[in-house]
């Protein structure tokens, strides 16, 4: 279907340099400015409480923000990992999404401010993400994870790591995740010049990874894990005009063939990053409603 006109207009407002980043500081500044504009479209859902904690991780203290909605219907916790190419993003930049998920999941949401590259190279983000799961699992036996883009990568990886140590997660929701190194898929060839460009993806990888060998590590490429059996039920959301579309859908197929309960939904007419346009395009709200319904259904089983 045609590219959503509001998505197209939004992309046109972005500085051209954001698609070909040259340095981290400039990219972060552009993204921060973009978030301020987007937040203006999204209604601010009131929470019962929002507070900050610090998790004592194996390598560092991990800042995390806890969102408590006015209507809590489960003692389960949804742990969310934000996107941003592993080099940008925070709970603050995802505040509207976190409020939405907490409100419609009717559960506590914990947002993890994992360490960012290039100050902290791979696997620092993975270590922080897994440490946060181990922390919440000690008190919240009902635990689900979700994330978008780079955060979707972390959620997929942590699902595997959790299974391997006996942590049973209720669900994983992966929103246009990166799950491996993809060069030749149809979506990568056709859509790597619209929003998430080939230049930006190369830049993110160069900032995050210590060397090219890291590409073959399942903690970066969960699609390469030796075993995908016995992983938590999965929801995988992809976007039509996203270069990461095909790898996300391939991962869904791998989970299905490994007898993991998996739902995969492709949103038409939108690009990578579309859930951030909450309040601007209907697809963003629909996607978050689907995530919320999926998480609630898994908590209630």
Q: Which residues belong to the active site? A: 149, 242, 272
Classify residue 41 as exposed, middle or buried by CB count within 10 Å of its CB (0-12, 13-18, 19+): middle
- 105/97 Cα distance (integer angstroms): 12
- 143/109 Cα distance (integer angstroms): 10
Give the CA-trace dihedral at 125, 215, 254, 82, to 10 degrees.
30
Radius of gyration of the chain (CA): 18
Please give the structure tokens belonging to residue 41: 């479209």
Q: In terms of Cα–Cα distance, which of 94, 86, 97 is closest to 120?
A: 86
- 252/260 Cα distance (integer angstroms): 9
Q: In what order do the strands lie in the sheet with 262-271?
A: 49-56, 61-68, 108-112, 77-81, 143-148, 171-175, 234-241, 262-271
Q: In terms of Cα–Cα distance, which of 156, 179, 154 is closest to 245?
A: 179
- 132/108 Cα distance (integer angstroms): 14
- 2/122 Cα distance (integer angstroms): 37
Q: Where are the alpha helices (DSSP H) in the chain?
A: 5-13, 24-39, 95-105, 124-137, 150-164, 186-191, 198-208, 245-257, 282-299
């Amino acid at each position: 279907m045609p590219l959503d006109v509001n998505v197209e207009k939004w992309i046109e407002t972005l500085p051209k340099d954001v698609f070909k980043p040259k340095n981290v500081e400039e990219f972060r500044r552009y993204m921060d400015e973009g978030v301020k504009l987007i937040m203006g479209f999204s209604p601010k859902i009131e929470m019962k409480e929002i507070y900050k904690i610090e998790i004592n991780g194996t390598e560092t203290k991990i800042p995390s923000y806890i969102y408590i909605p006015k209507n809590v219907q489960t003692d389960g916790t949804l742990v969310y990992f934000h996107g941003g190419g592993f080099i940008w993003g925070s709970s603050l930049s995802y505040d509207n999404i976190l409020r939405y998920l907490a409100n419609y999941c009717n559960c506590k949401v914990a947002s993890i401010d994992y360490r960012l590259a290039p100050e902290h190279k791979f696997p620092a983000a993975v270590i922080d993400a897994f440490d946060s799961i181990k922390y919440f699992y000690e008190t919240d036996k009902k635990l689900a994870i979700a994330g978008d883009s780079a955060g979707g990568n972390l959620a997929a990886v942590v699902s595997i790591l959790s299974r391997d140590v006996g942590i049973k997660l209720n669900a994983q929701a992966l929103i246009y995740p990166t799950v491996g190194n993809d060069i030749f898929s149809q979506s990568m060839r056709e859509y790597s010049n619209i929003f998430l460009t080939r230049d930006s993806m190369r830049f993110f990888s160069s900032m995050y990874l210590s060397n090219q060998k890291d590409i073959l590590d399942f903690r970066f490429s969960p699609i390469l894990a030796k075993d995908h059996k016995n992983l938590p039920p999965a929801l995988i959301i992809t976007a039509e005009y996203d270069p990461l579309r095909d790898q996300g859908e391939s991962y869904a197929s791998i989970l299905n063939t490994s007898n993991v309960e998996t739902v995969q939904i492709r949103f038409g007419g939108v690009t990578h990053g579309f859930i951030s346009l909450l309040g601007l395009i209907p697809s963003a709200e629909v996607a978050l409603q689907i995530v919320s319904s999926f998480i609630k259904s898994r908590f209630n089983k």
